[in-house]
Amino acid sequence: MMARRKFWGWGKVGEGFTDEEMKPFEADYAAVFGVDGFKARPFPTVDEIEIAPPRLAPPASLAPVCTDDKWERLVHTFGRSFHEQVRVMDRDFAGAPDLVARPRDEGDVAALLDWCAEAGAAAIPFGGGSSVVGGVHPDVGGGFKAAVSIDMGAMDQVLEIDRASRAARIQAGVYGPHLEDQLRPHGLTLRYYPQSFEYSTLGGWIATRGAGHYATMLTHIDDMTESVRAVTPAGVHDSFRLPGSGAGPSPDRLFLGSEGALGIITEAWMRLQDRPGFRAGHAVEFARFMDGVEAVRAIAQAGLYPANLRLLDHNEVRWSGAGDGSAAVLVLGFESADHALDAWMARALECCRDHGGRLPEQAGGGGGSAAARWRDAFIRGGHMREMLTARAIIRETFETAITWDRFDDFHREVAGAAERALEEATGRPGIVACRFTHVYPDGPAPYFTFIGLGEQGRLSAQYDLVKNAVSDAIIEAGGTITHHHAVGRDHMPWYERQRSEIFAAALRGAKAALDPAGIMNPGVLLPAR
Amino acid sequence: MMARRKFWGWGKVGEGFTDEEMKPFEADYAAVFGVDGFKARPFPTVDEIEIAPPRLAPPASLAPVCTDDKWERLVHTFGRSFHEQVRVMDRDFAGAPDLVARPRDEGDVAALLDWCAEAGAAAIPFGGGSSVVGGVHPDVGGGFKAAVSIDMGAMDQVLEIDRASRAARIQAGVYGPHLEDQLRPHGLTLRYYPQSFEYSTLGGWIATRGAGHYATMLTHIDDMTESVRAVTPAGVHDSFRLPGSGAGPSPDRLFLGSEGALGIITEAWMRLQDRPGFRAGHAVEFARFMDGVEAVRAIAQAGLYPANLRLLDHNEVRWSGAGDGSAAVLVLGFESADHALDAWMARALECCRDHGGRLPEQAGGGGGSAAARWRDAFIRGGHMREMLTARAIIRETFETAITWDRFDDFHREVAGAAERALEEATGRPGIVACRFTHVYPDGPAPYFTFIGLGEQGRLSAQYDLVKNAVSDAIIEAGGTITHHHAVGRDHMPWYERQRSEIFAAALRGAKAALDPAGIMNPGVLLPAR
């Protein structure tokens, strides 16, 4: 029997850190915060949680794909935001979906939406449930009689492979590992590895404009998407499968980032890569973070397109376990299925040296041991939050993008806001770290981590104080409220400041046409009815 | 005094081919068609043309930016489609705009749209007037009291340069050469050279999702656009200037390809390039076109991103003057502002040799003399149509994109349809040529030229027969009706087959919100009210 998904944390029952494995981390945090240790609140059991009985029952035709099983309803109540994790620990599952549906095909999806519209129920698309922005939590306001979480996990097949064009038609509910398993025999890969890879889906990546493995060029899922198919309450959308087009505004780009508010993405033709056989990697140290920034800018503007160009500041190095934090580290990597990468790497290293970069270790493959350590921590990162939250350690992230000309001031203002808010919220200094997850010729996507010692019972309020301060600082300095985590419900106040009133009106017009009853993921992108 | 724009052809009065210069071309066409020569109809003079008096007068506040000057109204009557050129020769300027407006700033644009909405006039945005799809012709149906052509040419300044991010804030009405003149002192370039470069504008490129110089990666203007500012009848849209974002559907992508149907683009932050100092080029011959196709696919999928990857089939080589047509030719070029390109070119040439490519001439720079000849013909191409149409020679183009897996069949079907229709339309075999203007990892953008001997008085009908046949063939085979020429009024029937009903509904919803009176370029993207 397959292990079930946890309703209290990342992944499946049995996965993640043990209390024993947490001990070195606890010791580290305890030393920094000057405390003796941490008491972990226990995770909830299913019996400890009370949820209301479902407010509706499916029609007979849809009964086979719907369930009101309590565990399933709990699994589909939350994504993985900090607030949600705190509510998990508080055993507060108010807002649990009344039913969980698991459509087998597009006909089921259409029937479910028809029924939801008729029944006055909100329809909440659910991929892997990895949203950290409240994108899958059925907090839909008072305008609906019920909420149905529509889990796309049963639609998980690669339906067609086009080897010549390196593309595949793929059902939206497929998880990362299962997708790669299906592509591997063809020598192909999507080469898209967000941190949520194990527990997120193609449809979720597209709906949220996620970003994956590559640090340059192939960043967002947008550019890997050849065409999108979606079921809306008004009918099925499909677009021609094309390598490029200039026929009106791109229909795919309307669904990319639609976050379930216009319909449910059911399948897509995706652009793939040959599996890389050539690799070159280095970890380059910079005494000063801002020198590393200049090196990264030079590489990003050189037309070299490294697969990895991940600059970690001193705190990020220290707190990700990649090194001791005495220097900033640039994880630099090239890969290709076609050719050796000597010329590419040689020029990129020149750019590093021009700005004071040092190569402490010469290693091929993944870019040296600092890079390897960083990657290991990254991959297990999904499991860390539930352990830290249980210990009242606030370790959270926020991410954005900004042009190079403003980065210096931006970094100072945003990091400064985070530091001040952390101290105000927790009564003691916290830690703020920064790395670049993605880099463009015209600017980086900085990703911030903040760490503070919270207090049980006040965690959400403490987190809010920091999150609100940094979000205000980001918007005031002209950054985006999200580079790849999406808007969800949590980012709405800042998204509304970022988005023009005119674009909001256009989106309302489009939604009114596609979702006239307003049942699709209400409260996301636009206010719930 | 500056020369005025021609109302009967490409560019300014005094530019273009003389009758004397046409003689070798005439001899060539005469030999192929087996005729003695050609009689050229004279171009119209301004006095020969009758247009109705303007049906409205501007309010006093807008009088300084409006004119009913006859020459100006004639210049703004047509773009440069074949039909329009035939109507020029027929002295048929029905549908001329009642007035031409030339706003000085965003306030003028907003005032003009307010006034048009109030007066029941259609507002037709006009950039360089280079549309070959009926995008600027005020054929707006019976629902409007008048039509005002809004020429953006007075808003032509680079307003701000960000050297660090290599970006600039640019007014939408700037023509290609004037834009590059303003960027050059900063060592920057947009590196966007459509064939219309001299007489097209930034706003037009964005509104039509044009495609420029680069054959790979930086193809469409879409990816060069950092943010867009536009005036709609409902107000001003602006988007944050960002290197990347995941905050909801991209607002810029709604305006990219909007073709004036949602509002008028007034300025944009554009991503620029450093001016390249390193270049490597070759012209590679292939005995068989399809071998060249395979070589191009290999290069496109190798991650090398050449600036030029233009495959010309035998007929294209022959009829563009690039060579004698005994072989297909691949114009292959790399360029960089950062590094020497030996490794890149070496690997690309390996891909060519793997598929039977031969290097007849070893030349650096522009890629050999075949490439240079091709480029010269390309640059003067805009001036050729008016000369050929006057001689009843139909030489027209259509363009599309398709994935690699379908290219072979697609090429056969589309080229076959063109050949059959040409013979049916003109009573004798014509010439059909194909080249790739842009190439993607998942497919090429084939560009077809067809040449036939037409007949004065029947030219439009003859052209329609071919254009309809090839457009049907393209859509039936799954290609896009346009890769970079846009939809305009001419492509509407096929665009409507390509576009899903759901996306049409979304677009209608967005337009109703932004342009409630439906005055913006009526009949483009959506039927006129």
The encoded tokens of residue A376 equal 């290991």
Cβ pairs bridging A and B (under 8 Å):
317
User: Would you say residue A279 has pLDDT above 80?
Assistant: yes
Q: How far is CA B524 from CA B133, B196, B486, B500, B518, in A?
A: 10, 21, 10, 16, 11
Distance CA A95, CA A49 (A): 12
Distance CA A219, CA A212 (A): 6
B6 touches chain A (CB under 8 A): no
pLDDT, tens digit, 9 for 90 and up, residues B252-262: 999 999 999 99
A492 touches chain B (CB under 8 A): no
User: Would you say residue A437 has pLDDT above 50?
Assistant: yes
Shortest distance between the Cα of B19 and any Cα of chain A, in A, equals 36
A510 touches chain B (CB under 8 A): yes
- Convert B299-322 to b/e letters by CB count within 10 Å (16 or more is b): bbbbbbbbbbbbbbbbbbbbbbbb
Mean pLDDT of A259-268: 98
Q: How confident is the model at residue B364 (pLDDT cuts 50, 70, 90)?
A: very low
Note whether A234 contacts B498, CB cutoff 8 Å.
Answer: no
**What is the widest separation between alpha-carbon atoms in chain A?**
69
B397 touches chain A (CB under 8 A): no
User: Would you say residue B472 has pLDDT above 50?
Assistant: yes
Is residue B489 within 8 Å of B524, Cβ to Cβ? yes
Note whether A441 contacts B166, CB cutoff 8 Å.
Answer: yes
pLDDT at A3: 84
B293 → chain A, closest CA residue: A164
Mean pLDDT of A503-508: 98
Nearest to A392 by CA among A460, A462, A456: A456
∠ CA A316-A322-A324, rounded to 5°: 80
Is residue A349 within 8 Å of A296, Cβ to Cβ? no
User: Judged by CB atoms within 8 Å, which residues 287-306 of A form the interface with B?
Assistant: 297, 301-305
Q: How far is CA A383 from CA A12, A18, A392, B353, B454, in A?
A: 10, 10, 15, 51, 72
Q: A464: how many CB neighbours lie within 10 A of its CB?
A: 15
Distance CA A182, CA A180 (A): 5
Q: Where are the alpha helices (DSSP H) in A209-356?
A: 251-255, 289-300, 314-320, 342-354
pTM (two decimals): 0.97
Q: What letter represents residue A371's amino acid?
A: A
Q: B113: how many CB neighbours lie within 10 A of its CB?
A: 27
Q: Where are the alpha helices (DSSP H) in A355-403?
A: 368-390
Nearest neighbour of B510 by CB, restricted to A226, A402, A506: A506
User: Would you say residue A362 has pLDDT above 60?
Assistant: no
More confident residue, A1 or A393: A393
pLDDT at B1: 54
Distance CA B399, CA B379 (A): 18
A271 touches chain B (CB under 8 A): yes
Shortest distance between the Cα of A197 and any Cα of chain B, in A, equals 17
pLDDT, tens digit, 9 for 90 and up, residues B63-98: 999 999 999 999 999 999 999 999 999 999 999 999
Could you give the dihedral angle defined by the CA atoms of residues B232, B233, B235 and B241, in that order, rounded to the nearest 10 degrees?
Answer: 0
Q: How confident is the model at residue A266 (pLDDT cuts 50, 70, 90)?
A: very high
B186 touches chain A (CB under 8 A): no
Nearest neighbour of A257 by CB, restricted to B249, B271, B342: B249
Mean pLDDT of A253-275: 98
Taking CB atoms and an 8 Å cutoff, what residues of chain B touch A304?
A: 338-339
Shortest distance between the Cα of B150 and any Cα of chain A, in A, equals 20
Taking CB atoms and an 8 Å cutoff, what residues of chain A touch B262?
A: 506
Query: Residue A346: CB partners within 8 Å, gap ≥ 6?
Result: none
Is residue B239 within 8 Å of A503, Cβ to Cβ? yes
A509 → chain B, closest CA residue: B509
> Phi and psi (nearest 5°) for A40?
-90, 125
User: Would you say residue A348 has pLDDT above 90?
Assistant: yes
Q: How confident is the model at residue A367 (pLDDT cuts 50, 70, 90)?
A: very low
User: Would you say residue B375 has pLDDT above 90?
Assistant: no
DSSP state of B70: H
Q: How far is CA B96 from CA A102, B67, B69, B118, in A?
A: 58, 13, 12, 21
Preferred mutation among A354, A403, A482 to probe B, highest tally of B CBs within 10 A: A403
Shortest distance between the Cα of B510 and any Cα of chain A, in A, equals 4
Preferred mutation among B256, B494, B502, B515 to probe A, highest tally of A CBs within 10 A: B502
pLDDT, tens digit, 9 for 90 and up, residues B99-125: 999 999 999 999 999 999 999 999 999
Q: What letter represents residue B42's amino acid?
A: P
pLDDT at A115: 98
Q: Would you mind telling me the total number of residues written for chain B in this entry? A: 529
The encoded tokens of residue A446 equal 């900085």
**Cα(first)–Cα(last) distance of chain A, in Å?**
42
User: Judged by CB atoms within 8 Å, which residues 206-235 of A form the interface with B?
Assistant: 208-211, 217, 219-220, 222, 226, 230, 232, 234-235
**Cα(first)–Cα(last) distance of chain B, in Å?**
42
Distance CA A485, CA A199 (A): 14
Mean pLDDT of A520-528: 97
User: Would you say residue B367 has pLDDT above 60?
Assistant: no
The encoded tokens of residue A412 equal 């100072």
The encoded tokens of residue A21 equal 């494995």
Q: How confident is the model at residue B368 (pLDDT cuts 50, 70, 90)?
A: low
pLDDT at A447: 98
> Phi and psi (nearest 5°) for A512?
-60, -35
Nearest neighbour of A242 by CB, restricted to B211, B401, B495: B401
Note whether B336 contacts A438, CB cutoff 8 Å.
Answer: no
DSSP state of A61: G
DSSP state of B199: G
Q: How confident is the model at residue B361 (pLDDT cuts 50, 70, 90)?
A: low
- Which secondary-structure segment (H or E) carries A106? helix A106-119
Helix-helix angle A404-426:A289-300, to 10 degrees: 140
Q: What letter represents residue A295's amino acid?
A: A
pLDDT at B371: 74
> Phi and psi (nearest 5°) for B145?
-80, -20
Distance CA B241, CA B258 (A): 19
The overall average pLDDT reported for chain A is: 96
pLDDT, tens digit, 9 for 90 and up, residues B271-319: 999 999 999 999 999 999 999 999 999 999 999 999 999 999 999 999 9
Q: How far is CA B163 from CA B188, B268, B273, B354, in A?
A: 8, 16, 10, 42
pLDDT, tens digit, 9 for 90 and up, residues A185-219: 999 999 999 999 999 999 999 999 999 989 999 99
Q: Chain-centre distance of CA A191, in angstroms? A: 16
Note whether A498 contacts B240, CB cutoff 8 Å.
Answer: yes
- Return the minimum-mean-pLDDT range out of A363-367, A452-456, B199-203, B263-267: A363-367
A262 touches chain B (CB under 8 A): yes
Distance CA A320, CA A29 (A): 13
- What percentage of chain B reaches a pLDDT higher than 70? 98
User: Would you say residue A302 has pLDDT above 70?
Assistant: yes
The overall average pLDDT reported for chain B is: 96
B491 touches chain A (CB under 8 A): yes
Q: How confident is the model at residue A380 (pLDDT cuts 50, 70, 90)?
A: confident
Distance CA A329, CA A292 (A): 8
Beta bridge partners of A170: A158, A268
More confident residue, A374 or A163: A163
Shortest distance between the Cα of A244 and any Cα of chain B, in A, equals 6
Note whether B502 contacts A339, CB cutoff 8 Å.
Answer: no
Shortest distance between the Cα of B442 and any Cα of chain A, in A, equals 4
Note whether B245 contacts A162, CB cutoff 8 Å.
Answer: no
User: Would you say residue B339 has pLDDT above 50?
Assistant: yes
Q: A185: how many CB neighbours lie within 10 A of its CB?
A: 8
Q: Chain-centre distance of CA A403, in angstroms? A: 22
User: Would you say residue B456 has pLDDT above 80?
Assistant: yes
pLDDT, tens digit, 9 for 90 and up, residues B191-221: 999 999 999 999 999 999 999 989 999 999 9
Note whether B404 contacts A165, CB cutoff 8 Å.
Answer: yes
The encoded tokens of residue B80 equal 């440069």
Shortest distance between the Cα of A456 and any Cα of chain B, in A, equals 32
User: Judged by CB atoms within 8 Å, which residues 23-52 of A form the interface with B?
Assistant: none
Preferred mutation among A498, A503, A508 to probe B, highest tally of B CBs within 10 A: A503
Note whether B166 contacts A403, CB cutoff 8 Å.
Answer: no
Nearest neighbour of B236 by CB, restricted to A236, A305, A502: A502
Is residue A144 within 8 Å of A120, Cβ to Cβ? yes
Nearest neighbour of B403 by CB, restricted to A243, A250, A506: A243
DSSP, residue by residue, B431-456 = EEEEEEEEEETTEEEEEEEEEEE--T
Q: Chain-centre distance of CA B471, in angstroms? A: 17
B260 → chain A, closest CA residue: A248
Taking CB atoms and an 8 Å cutoff, what residues of chain B touch A210?
A: 246
Distance CA A307, CA A215 (A): 6
Nearest neighbour of B248 by CB, restricted to A259, A274, A347: A259
Mean pLDDT of B350-362: 90
Distance CA B510, CA A506 (A): 4
Distance CA A301, CA A299 (A): 5
Is residue B119 within 8 Å of B146, Cβ to Cβ? yes
Nearest to B146 by CA among B80, B73, B61, B65: B73
Distance CA A414, CA A473 (A): 6
Is residue A483 within 8 Å of B245, Cβ to Cβ? yes
pLDDT at A369: 73
Q: How far is CA B415 from CA B353, B425, B467, in A?
A: 27, 15, 12
Q: Where are the alpha helices (DSSP H) in A199-274?
A: 202-207, 251-255
User: Would you say residue B415 has pLDDT above 90?
Assistant: yes
pLDDT at A322: 87
A2 touches chain B (CB under 8 A): no
Preferred mutation among B192, B503, B520 to probe A, highest tally of A CBs within 10 A: B503
B278 touches chain A (CB under 8 A): no
Question: Sign of the C-alpha dihedral, residues A174, A180, A186, A191?
Answer: positive
A106 touches chain B (CB under 8 A): no
Strands of B113-215, DSSP E: 121-126, 146-151, 158-162, 167-171, 188-189
Q: How confident is the model at residue A361 (pLDDT cuts 50, 70, 90)?
A: low
Q: How confident is the model at residue A365 (pLDDT cuts 50, 70, 90)?
A: very low
> Own/partner pairs for A12-18, CB < 8 Å, 24+ apart?
A15/A383, A16/A383, A16/A386, A16/A387, A17/A380, A17/A383, A17/A384, A17/A387
